[in-house]
Amino acid sequence: MYFIGYDIGSSSVKAALLDADSGRCLASAASPSREMPIQVPHAGWAEQDPESWWQEVINATALLRQQAAFDPAAVGGIGIAYQMHGLVCVDKAQQVLRPSVIWCDSRAVDTGNKAFAALGEQYCLEHLLNSPGNFTASKLRWIYENEPHIYERIHKIMLPGDFIAMKLTGEACTTISGLSEGTFWDFAAGSVSKKLLDYYQIDEGLLSAVVPAFGVQGRLTAAAAAVLQLKEGTPVTYRAGDQPNNAFSLNVLQPGEAATTAGTSGVVYAVHDQHAADPQSRVNTFVHVSNDAQQLRNGVLMCLNGTGIANSWLKNILGSTDYVAMNSEAATAPPGADGLLIYPFGNGAERILANKRTGAAARHLDFNRHGRAHLLRAVQEGIVFGLYYGMEIMSAMGLHIHRVRAGNANMFLSPLFREVFANTADAVIELYNTDGAQGAARGAAVGAGYMNTSNVFHGMECLAVIEPQAALQEQYRDAYGRWLAGLAALTT
């Protein structure tokens, strides 16, 4: 039996074909080969065409078939992971009405801040576990206020993964986890937040029907099956935002367990068995995929927007040949980069900075002392320091993270990045041979009832364990202290 997983990112769509019996990934693909474009009509905005995601799903599926021959009738289910917090608007004919307002778009920050004050901070933190912030509900309110001609034509709003599921099945549906990531979910009431909808003047009918994260959510239509060359009726059996899915893909399901990723953005995601909130909503709590009526499981997420994108920007600016060469050169500079500090906040408003849009910055750059190696190292250190700053906020909420799991991908491919992370955070890092698309495929196997969470992770291997080193910890903590002092000046 095979299962297919899709990971709908803002850079590419990844696909994986899982042989459930062996637990091995038989094929994986990503499309396009270059990063998908993000439109920026105004400063702080970020949009993508949802139909382009669907086209890349088609392309990635074709690449899977080139890598591995498989009988479409033997595909037991399809799983979907997706970039979180985006807004897709469709009409009654399921046609997209405007480009998707994606996760790193900052236009609704003021909208969410006003709602936080108007609804009451105590209400929001007790019921939504977040400020409405720059999340999907606030983005929809922005459409209501600024594009009424679009709003009046909306039949359903959805998250990016909901849109792909609709293209596959013809059905508009979402999950409780998805509603929570949009701040539509009232944790205290266990239902959609009527108070938020009323305040934003959003018709509840615009929200899609709720389906479980694991389970049959619809079946492949004849049209979708034809373009994907899969079997009509194949069920879609799993759906989750990219960070809950990343945690699932690493078998992070129980309280105290944590996952991290460092792609375009960087995230640390820890499982909690409480309804906890940061008073300033700098880190956010959402319903985790392992939550059910018997066990409360929330995911506490801190996000740094400027992670891999900062390293990619530097690569392009310096004309470097590849990341491996950059990592090697960076390692020739000493820990702390001889005092050079980088603040990688150049990719929109940062939640960990209370939605401030400070822009990226460098401090203590010395033309007589610092060269390429210092700059390359300082960017990697600055990214880790930003992640650790968020982890300290999580610690204040009672989540003390001393071990994290990550896929062997993106910035975790850098030995230097792993060293800086382990020693700054005083955390053991476990690296596994998995990614979001493979996690979505394993989720599909669970949702189809073919496997369960006790056996679906067989075939996944721990590739490396990185331990903190006392000699390095002191150096990185000193560098972090200097970085933290500079951050205060940057944000005031």
Q: What is the pLDDT along the chain (492 residues), one digit of tens a residue?
A: 999 999 999 989 999 999 999 999 999 999 999 889 999 999 989 999 999 999 999 999 999 999 999 999 999 999 999 999 999 999 999 999 999 999 989 999 999 999 999 999 999 999 999 999 999 999 999 999 999 999 999 999 999 999 999 999 999 999 999 999 999 999 999 999 999 999 999 999 999 999 999 999 999 999 999 999 999 999 999 999 999 999 999 999 999 999 999 988 999 999 999 999 999 999 999 999 999 989 999 999 999 999 999 999 999 999 988 999 999 999 999 999 999 999 999 998 899 999 888 999 999 999 999 999 999 999 999 999 999 999 999 999 999 999 999 999 999 999 999 999 999 999 999 999 999 999 999 999 999 999 999 999 999 999 999 999 999 999 999 999 999 999 999 998
- Distance from chain centroid for Cα 243: 4
Spatial contact of 408 and 213, defined as CB atoms under 8 Å apart: no
| Nearest-angstrom CA–CA distance, 357 and 108 | 12
At 133, list the tokens: 């912030």
| Nearest-angstrom CA–CA distance, 436 and 161 | 13
Residue type, 428: V
Each as own residue / partner, the long-range contacts of residues 373-376 (CB below 8 Å, 24 or more positions apart, any chain) are 373/329, 373/330, 373/332, 373/333, 374/333, 374/337, 374/338, 374/340, 375/314, 375/318, 375/337, 375/340, 375/342, 376/314, 376/318, 376/326, 376/327, 376/329, 376/330, 376/333
Other CB atoms within a 10 A radius of the CB of residue 206 amount to: 15
| Nearest-angstrom CA–CA distance, 4 and 215 | 15
At 252, list the tokens: 């992070």
Spatial neighbors of 212 by CB under 8 A, at least 6 apart, are: 175, 447
| Nearest-angstrom CA–CA distance, 278 and 348 | 21
Answer whether 0.85 is exceeded by the pTM: yes
